[in-house]
Protein backbone atom coordinates (compact mmCIF):
# COMPACT_ATOMS: atom_id res chain seq x y z
CA UNK A 1 0.00 0.00 0.00
CA UNK A 2 1.15 3.52 -0.61
CA UNK A 3 -0.06 7.03 0.08
CA UNK A 4 0.45 10.24 -1.84
CA UNK A 5 1.20 13.43 0.10
CA UNK A 6 0.81 16.88 -1.40
CA UNK A 7 0.10 20.31 0.07
CA UNK A 8 -3.48 21.55 -0.29
CA UNK A 9 -4.22 25.26 -0.39
CA UNK A 10 -7.47 26.59 1.13
CA UNK A 11 -9.76 28.44 -1.28
CA UNK A 12 -9.39 31.67 0.69
CA UNK A 13 -6.26 31.54 2.85
CA UNK A 14 -6.41 33.34 6.16
CA UNK A 15 -3.47 34.33 8.34
CA UNK A 16 -3.93 31.13 10.28
CA UNK A 17 -3.93 29.09 7.07
CA UNK A 18 -0.74 30.74 5.92
CA UNK A 19 0.91 29.97 9.24
CA UNK A 20 -0.06 26.31 8.99
CA UNK A 21 0.60 25.89 5.30
CA UNK A 22 4.16 24.65 5.72
CA UNK A 23 3.00 21.61 7.68
CA UNK A 24 -0.30 20.92 5.89
CA UNK A 25 -0.33 17.55 4.14
CA UNK A 26 -3.22 15.68 2.56
CA UNK A 27 -3.17 11.93 2.87
CA UNK A 28 -4.88 10.19 -0.03
CA UNK A 29 -4.96 6.45 0.47
CA UNK A 30 -4.23 4.55 -2.75
CA UNK A 31 -4.70 0.80 -2.97
CA UNK A 32 -3.52 -1.46 -5.80
CA UNK A 33 -6.95 -1.28 -7.43
CA UNK A 34 -7.21 2.50 -7.19
CA UNK A 35 -8.04 4.26 -10.47
CA UNK A 36 -6.25 7.48 -9.55
CA UNK A 37 -3.31 9.07 -11.37
CA UNK A 38 -0.38 6.79 -12.17
CA UNK A 39 2.17 9.50 -13.02
CA UNK A 40 2.80 12.48 -10.74
CA UNK A 41 4.41 15.76 -11.87
CA UNK A 42 4.55 17.58 -8.54
CA UNK A 43 7.69 19.15 -7.04
CA UNK A 44 6.24 18.86 -3.52
CA UNK A 45 4.95 15.30 -3.79
CA UNK A 46 5.87 12.69 -1.22
CA UNK A 47 4.87 9.03 -1.28
CA UNK A 48 4.44 6.75 1.71
CA UNK A 49 5.00 2.99 1.36
CA UNK A 50 3.81 0.63 4.07
CA UNK A 51 4.18 -3.12 4.30
CA UNK A 52 2.25 -5.83 6.17
CA UNK A 53 4.45 -5.45 9.26
CA UNK A 54 3.95 -1.72 9.62
CA UNK A 55 7.32 -0.62 8.26
CA UNK A 56 6.98 2.70 6.45
CA UNK A 57 9.14 4.49 3.89
CA UNK A 58 8.50 8.01 2.63
CA UNK A 59 9.93 9.25 -0.65
CA UNK A 60 9.99 12.63 -2.39
CA UNK A 61 10.11 13.58 -6.07
CA UNK A 62 12.61 16.35 -5.33
CA UNK A 63 15.92 14.54 -5.54
CA UNK A 64 14.21 11.12 -5.79
CA UNK A 65 15.05 10.96 -2.12
CA UNK A 66 14.22 8.99 1.02
CA UNK A 67 12.71 11.33 3.61
CA UNK A 68 11.67 8.82 6.28
CA UNK A 69 12.07 5.16 7.22
CA UNK A 70 10.13 3.88 10.22
CA UNK A 71 11.00 0.45 11.60
CA UNK A 72 10.27 -1.31 14.92
CA UNK A 73 12.66 -1.89 17.78
CA UNK A 74 12.75 -5.13 19.79
CA UNK A 75 9.59 -4.01 21.66
CA UNK A 76 7.71 -3.18 18.47
CA UNK A 77 8.05 0.59 18.88
CA UNK A 78 8.19 2.30 15.49
CA UNK A 79 10.85 5.01 15.08
CA UNK A 80 12.09 7.09 12.17
CA UNK A 81 15.76 6.19 11.65
CA UNK A 82 16.85 8.57 8.85
CA UNK A 83 17.67 12.27 8.84
CA UNK A 84 15.41 14.65 6.95
CA UNK A 85 12.45 17.03 7.03
CA UNK A 86 8.69 16.57 7.15
CA UNK A 87 8.04 18.67 4.04
CA UNK A 88 9.96 19.21 0.81
CA UNK A 89 10.53 22.96 1.13
CA UNK A 90 13.43 22.79 3.65
CA UNK A 91 15.36 20.54 1.29
CA UNK A 92 15.22 23.34 -1.29
CA UNK A 93 15.60 26.37 0.96
CA UNK A 94 18.19 25.33 3.55
CA UNK A 95 21.48 27.18 3.16
CA UNK A 96 23.39 23.95 3.72
CA UNK A 97 22.30 20.96 1.66
CA UNK A 98 24.19 17.85 2.84
CA UNK A 99 22.44 15.49 0.39
CA UNK A 100 19.88 14.19 2.90
CA UNK A 101 18.42 10.97 1.49
CA UNK A 102 19.05 11.89 -2.15
CA UNK A 103 19.76 10.01 -5.31
CA UNK A 104 23.28 11.04 -6.32
CA UNK A 105 24.12 11.56 -9.99
CA UNK A 106 25.18 11.82 -12.68
CA UNK A 107 28.27 10.72 -10.75
CA UNK A 108 28.35 9.89 -7.03
CA UNK A 109 31.62 10.89 -5.40
CA UNK A 110 34.43 13.20 -6.42
CA UNK A 111 36.08 13.64 -9.81
CA UNK A 112 39.53 15.19 -9.46
CA UNK A 113 39.97 18.76 -10.68
CA UNK A 114 36.51 18.70 -12.23
CA UNK A 115 37.66 17.15 -15.49
CA UNK A 116 38.20 13.85 -17.31
CA UNK A 117 39.14 12.69 -20.81
CA UNK A 118 36.90 10.28 -22.69
CA UNK A 119 37.66 8.96 -26.16
CA UNK A 120 40.31 11.62 -26.59
CA UNK A 121 38.06 14.54 -25.64
CA UNK A 122 38.51 16.46 -22.39
CA UNK A 123 35.31 17.30 -20.51
CA UNK A 124 35.28 20.07 -17.93
CA UNK A 125 32.76 19.69 -15.10
CA UNK A 126 31.33 22.08 -12.54
CA UNK A 127 33.58 22.38 -9.46
CA UNK A 128 31.51 22.39 -6.29
CA UNK A 129 33.89 20.86 -3.73
CA UNK A 130 37.10 22.85 -3.57
CA UNK A 131 39.11 21.99 -6.68
CA UNK A 132 36.92 18.98 -7.42
CA UNK A 133 33.57 17.99 -8.82
CA UNK A 134 31.34 16.13 -6.32
CA UNK A 135 28.06 14.22 -6.50
CA UNK A 136 27.11 15.47 -9.96
CA UNK A 137 27.96 19.16 -9.55
CA UNK A 138 26.19 22.34 -8.54
CA UNK A 139 22.83 21.07 -9.75
CA UNK A 140 23.14 17.33 -9.53
CA UNK A 141 20.33 14.79 -9.56
CA UNK A 142 19.69 15.66 -5.91
CA UNK A 143 18.39 19.14 -6.84
CA UNK A 144 15.98 18.29 -9.66
CA UNK A 145 12.36 17.16 -9.64
CA UNK A 146 11.92 13.61 -10.88
CA UNK A 147 8.76 12.36 -12.56
CA UNK A 148 7.09 9.82 -10.27
CA UNK A 149 5.12 6.75 -11.26
CA UNK A 150 3.18 4.91 -8.60
CA UNK A 151 3.63 1.16 -8.56
CA UNK A 152 1.91 -1.56 -6.58
CA UNK A 153 4.51 -1.69 -3.80
CA UNK A 154 6.78 1.15 -4.73
CA UNK A 155 7.53 4.29 -6.68
CA UNK A 156 9.49 4.71 -9.88
CA UNK A 157 11.28 8.03 -10.43
CA UNK A 158 12.52 9.14 -13.86
CA UNK A 159 14.73 12.01 -14.95
CA UNK A 160 16.30 12.96 -18.29
CA UNK A 161 19.64 14.74 -17.89
CA UNK A 162 20.32 16.79 -21.04
CA UNK A 163 23.58 16.72 -22.96
CA UNK A 164 26.06 19.09 -21.32
CA UNK A 165 24.35 19.27 -17.93
CA UNK A 166 27.07 20.09 -15.36
CA UNK A 167 29.57 19.41 -18.14
CA UNK A 168 28.70 15.76 -18.82
CA UNK A 169 28.41 14.49 -22.39
CA UNK A 170 25.26 12.84 -23.70
CA UNK A 171 21.58 12.82 -22.85
CA UNK A 172 21.14 10.40 -19.98
CA UNK A 173 17.76 8.84 -19.18
CA UNK A 174 17.86 7.73 -15.55
CA UNK A 175 15.37 5.75 -13.51
CA UNK A 176 15.32 4.88 -9.81
CA UNK A 177 12.72 2.45 -8.45
CA UNK A 178 12.05 1.99 -4.74
CA UNK A 179 10.20 -1.17 -3.66
CA UNK A 180 9.18 -2.10 -0.10
CA UNK A 181 8.70 -5.81 0.58
CA UNK A 182 7.06 -7.68 3.44
CA UNK A 183 10.54 -8.96 4.38
CA UNK A 184 11.30 -5.39 5.55
CA UNK A 185 13.52 -4.83 2.53
CA UNK A 186 13.82 -1.48 0.79
CA UNK A 187 15.02 -2.35 -2.70
CA UNK A 188 16.56 0.37 -4.87
CA UNK A 189 16.93 -0.40 -8.58
CA UNK A 190 18.92 2.01 -10.74
CA UNK A 191 18.74 2.09 -14.54
CA UNK A 192 20.15 4.45 -17.17
CA UNK A 193 20.73 4.73 -20.93
CA UNK A 194 22.59 7.31 -22.97
CA UNK A 195 22.93 8.54 -26.54
CA UNK A 196 26.64 9.35 -26.10
CA UNK A 197 29.44 7.83 -24.03
CA UNK A 198 29.39 9.24 -20.49
CA UNK A 199 30.41 8.31 -16.93
CA UNK A 200 27.54 7.10 -14.72
CA UNK A 201 27.62 6.28 -11.02
CA UNK A 202 24.29 6.49 -9.18
CA UNK A 203 23.89 6.01 -5.43
CA UNK A 204 21.81 6.98 -2.42
CA UNK A 205 22.97 9.31 0.36
CA UNK A 206 20.64 8.53 3.26
CA UNK A 207 21.92 9.29 6.77
CA UNK A 208 21.05 6.52 9.25
CA UNK A 209 20.87 6.36 13.03
CA UNK A 210 19.21 3.15 14.19
CA UNK A 211 18.52 4.63 17.64
CA UNK A 212 16.28 7.18 15.95
CA UNK A 213 16.53 10.35 13.91
CA UNK A 214 17.86 13.18 16.06
CA UNK A 215 19.86 10.89 18.37
CA UNK A 216 23.18 12.29 19.54
CA UNK A 217 25.68 9.84 18.12
CA UNK A 218 26.21 6.95 15.75
CA UNK A 219 29.64 6.10 17.16
CA UNK A 220 28.18 3.44 19.47
CA UNK A 221 26.64 1.51 16.57
CA UNK A 222 28.42 -1.72 15.63
CA UNK A 223 29.45 -2.01 11.99
CA UNK A 224 30.78 -4.81 9.82
CA UNK A 225 31.93 -4.32 6.21
CA UNK A 226 32.85 -7.22 3.92
CA UNK A 227 36.01 -5.64 2.53
CA UNK A 228 39.71 -6.48 2.67
CA UNK A 229 40.73 -3.21 0.98
CA UNK A 230 39.87 0.47 0.80
CA UNK A 231 40.75 3.43 -1.42
CA UNK A 232 43.33 5.85 -0.06
CA UNK A 233 42.43 9.53 -0.49
CA UNK A 234 44.37 12.77 -0.64
CA UNK A 235 43.73 15.89 1.44
CA UNK A 236 40.86 16.91 -0.88
CA UNK A 237 39.22 13.47 -0.40
CA UNK A 238 39.91 12.29 -3.96
CA UNK A 239 41.27 8.74 -4.36
CA UNK A 240 45.02 8.68 -4.95
CA UNK A 241 44.76 5.49 -6.98
CA UNK A 242 46.26 3.40 -4.18
CA UNK A 243 44.22 0.43 -3.00
CA UNK A 244 45.23 -0.31 0.60
CA UNK A 245 44.63 -3.33 2.82
CA UNK A 246 42.48 -2.62 5.87
CA UNK A 247 44.16 -5.18 8.17
CA UNK A 248 45.84 -3.53 11.13
CA UNK A 249 44.29 -0.11 10.42
CA UNK A 250 41.27 1.85 11.73
CA UNK A 251 39.52 0.80 8.51
CA UNK A 252 39.29 -2.86 9.44
CA UNK A 253 35.57 -3.59 9.79
CA UNK A 254 35.84 -7.22 8.69
CA UNK A 255 34.64 -8.14 12.16
CA UNK A 256 32.00 -6.09 14.02
CA UNK A 257 33.24 -3.14 16.04
CA UNK A 258 31.79 0.17 17.26
CA UNK A 259 31.98 2.86 14.59
CA UNK A 260 33.77 5.17 17.02
CA UNK A 261 36.37 2.75 18.36
CA UNK A 262 39.18 3.93 16.06
CA UNK A 263 37.80 7.07 14.47
CA UNK A 264 39.98 9.44 16.50
CA UNK A 265 43.23 7.55 16.05
CA UNK A 266 46.21 9.40 14.64
CA UNK A 267 46.03 8.27 11.03
CA UNK A 268 46.72 10.13 7.79
CA UNK A 269 43.67 8.71 6.05
CA UNK A 270 41.32 9.59 8.91
CA UNK A 271 42.80 13.09 8.94
CA UNK A 272 42.30 13.48 5.19
CA UNK A 273 38.61 12.53 5.52
CA UNK A 274 38.00 14.22 8.90
CA UNK A 275 36.87 10.79 9.96
CA UNK A 276 35.51 8.01 7.78
CA UNK A 277 34.72 9.26 4.28
CA UNK A 278 36.23 6.44 2.27
CA UNK A 279 35.32 3.82 -0.29
CA UNK A 280 35.68 0.21 0.76
CA UNK A 281 36.50 -2.29 -1.99
CA UNK A 282 33.88 -4.96 -1.41
CA UNK A 283 34.88 -8.60 -1.61
CA UNK A 284 33.61 -10.07 -4.88
CA UNK A 285 30.22 -11.72 -4.74
CA UNK A 286 27.62 -12.82 -7.20
CA UNK A 287 24.52 -10.65 -7.22
CA UNK A 288 23.10 -9.40 -3.93
CA UNK A 289 22.92 -12.63 -1.92
CA UNK A 290 25.43 -11.83 0.84
CA UNK A 291 25.50 -8.63 2.91
CA UNK A 292 28.15 -6.07 2.02
CA UNK A 293 27.67 -4.39 5.40
CA UNK A 294 25.74 -4.81 8.64
CA UNK A 295 24.90 -2.01 11.09
CA UNK A 296 23.54 -2.73 14.59
CA UNK A 297 22.32 -0.62 17.52
CA UNK A 298 22.15 -2.65 20.73
CA UNK A 299 19.69 -0.58 22.81
CA UNK A 300 16.89 -0.81 20.25
CA UNK A 301 18.03 -4.11 18.77
CA UNK A 302 17.63 -2.68 15.28
CA UNK A 303 19.83 -4.17 12.58
CA UNK A 304 20.31 -3.04 8.99
CA UNK A 305 21.99 -5.18 6.35
CA UNK A 306 23.14 -3.76 3.02
CA UNK A 307 23.18 -5.93 -0.09
CA UNK A 308 24.53 -4.73 -3.43
CA UNK A 309 26.03 -5.78 -6.76
CA UNK A 310 28.30 -2.71 -6.78
CA UNK A 311 32.10 -2.95 -6.23
CA UNK A 312 32.32 -0.21 -3.60
CA UNK A 313 30.73 1.01 -0.39
CA UNK A 314 31.30 4.57 0.82
CA UNK A 315 31.27 4.93 4.60
CA UNK A 316 30.63 8.54 5.60
CA UNK A 317 30.29 9.39 9.30
CA UNK A 318 28.61 12.79 8.87
CA UNK A 319 31.85 14.58 9.60
CA UNK A 320 30.62 17.93 8.34
CA UNK A 321 27.18 18.18 9.96
CA UNK A 322 27.51 21.06 12.42
CA UNK A 323 24.14 21.48 14.17
CA UNK A 324 22.91 24.22 11.82
CA UNK A 325 20.10 21.99 10.51
CA UNK A 326 17.14 20.99 12.69
CA UNK A 327 15.29 17.95 11.40
CA UNK A 328 11.94 16.26 11.88
CA UNK A 329 12.41 15.85 15.63
CA UNK A 330 13.37 19.51 16.01
CA UNK A 331 16.83 18.47 17.19
CA UNK A 332 20.00 19.76 15.52
CA UNK A 333 21.91 17.37 13.30
CA UNK A 334 25.38 17.17 14.80
CA UNK A 335 28.72 15.85 13.61
CA UNK A 336 28.82 12.04 13.67
CA UNK A 337 25.22 11.73 14.78
CA UNK A 338 24.53 9.51 11.76
CA UNK A 339 26.27 7.71 8.92
CA UNK A 340 25.82 6.89 5.26
CA UNK A 341 26.50 3.55 3.59
CA UNK A 342 26.56 4.42 -0.10
CA UNK A 343 26.79 1.55 -2.59
CA UNK A 344 28.58 2.66 -5.74
CA UNK A 345 31.46 2.44 -8.18
CA UNK A 346 34.68 4.12 -7.15
CA UNK A 347 35.05 7.92 -7.05
CA UNK A 348 37.25 9.45 -9.79
CA UNK A 349 37.08 6.28 -11.90
CA UNK A 350 37.06 8.31 -15.15
CA UNK A 351 40.62 9.43 -14.25
CA UNK A 352 41.80 6.13 -12.72
CA UNK A 353 42.52 3.39 -15.28
CA UNK A 354 43.05 0.81 -12.49
CA UNK A 355 39.49 1.24 -11.23
CA UNK A 356 36.49 -0.57 -12.75
CA UNK A 357 35.08 1.41 -15.67
CA UNK A 358 32.02 3.61 -15.17
CA UNK A 359 31.61 4.55 -18.84
CA UNK A 360 28.17 3.92 -20.31
CA UNK A 361 27.88 3.86 -24.10
CA UNK A 362 24.93 4.04 -26.51
CA UNK A 363 23.15 0.70 -26.77
CA UNK A 364 24.22 -0.32 -23.25
CA UNK A 365 22.09 -0.24 -20.11
CA UNK A 366 23.38 0.78 -16.69
CA UNK A 367 21.54 -1.40 -14.19
CA UNK A 368 22.28 -2.07 -10.54
CA UNK A 369 20.47 -3.01 -7.33
CA UNK A 370 20.91 -2.23 -3.65
CA UNK A 371 18.83 -3.60 -0.77
CA UNK A 372 18.56 -2.23 2.76
CA UNK A 373 16.99 -4.91 4.98
CA UNK A 374 15.84 -4.21 8.54
CA UNK A 375 15.31 -6.57 11.47
CA UNK A 376 15.70 -6.81 15.25
CA UNK A 377 18.28 -8.95 16.99
CA UNK A 378 20.11 -9.49 20.27
CA UNK A 379 23.47 -9.06 18.51
CA UNK A 380 24.92 -8.03 15.18
CA UNK A 381 25.70 -11.65 14.31
CA UNK A 382 22.27 -13.19 14.79
The whole-angstrom separation of Cα 298 and Cα 376 is 9
SS3 134: strand
CA angle 317, 322, 324 (to 5 degrees): 135
| Distances 2 to 61, 132, 243 between C-alpha atoms, Å | 15, 40, 43
Q: Which of 135, 165, 166, 205 is catalytic?
A: 205
Active site residue 342: yes
**CA-wise closest residue to 40 among 147, 141, 142:** 147
- Residue 34 is a catalytic residue: no
Non-local CB neighbours of 118 within 8 Å, separated by 6+ positions: 169, 197, 198, 199, 350, 359
Phi-psi region of 135 (alpha: psi -120 to 50; beta: other; left: phi over 0): left
Q: Which residues pair with 52 in a beta bridge?
A: none
Cα–Cα distance measured from residue 345 to residue 278, given in angstroms and rounded to the nearest whole number: 12
CB 319: neighbour CB atoms within 10 A?
Answer: 16
Q: Given 135, 166, 342, 345, which residue is catalytic?
A: 342
Burial class (CB in 10 A: 0-12, 13-18, 19+), 16: exposed
β-strand partners of 277? 316
Would you tell me how many other CB atoms lie within 10 Å of the CB of residue 219? 16
- The catalytic residues are 205, 342
Amino acid sequence: MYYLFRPKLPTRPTGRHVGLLACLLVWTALTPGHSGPQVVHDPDAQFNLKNAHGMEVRLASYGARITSIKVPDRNGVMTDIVLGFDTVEPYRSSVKKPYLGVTLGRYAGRIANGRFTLDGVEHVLAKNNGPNHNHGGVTGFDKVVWEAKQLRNGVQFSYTSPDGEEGYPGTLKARVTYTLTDANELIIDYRATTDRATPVNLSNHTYFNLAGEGSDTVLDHELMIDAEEMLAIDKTSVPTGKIAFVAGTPFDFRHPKPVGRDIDQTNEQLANGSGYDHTFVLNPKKGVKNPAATLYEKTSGRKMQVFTDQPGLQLYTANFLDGSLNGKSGKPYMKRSSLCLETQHFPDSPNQPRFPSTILRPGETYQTRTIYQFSVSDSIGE
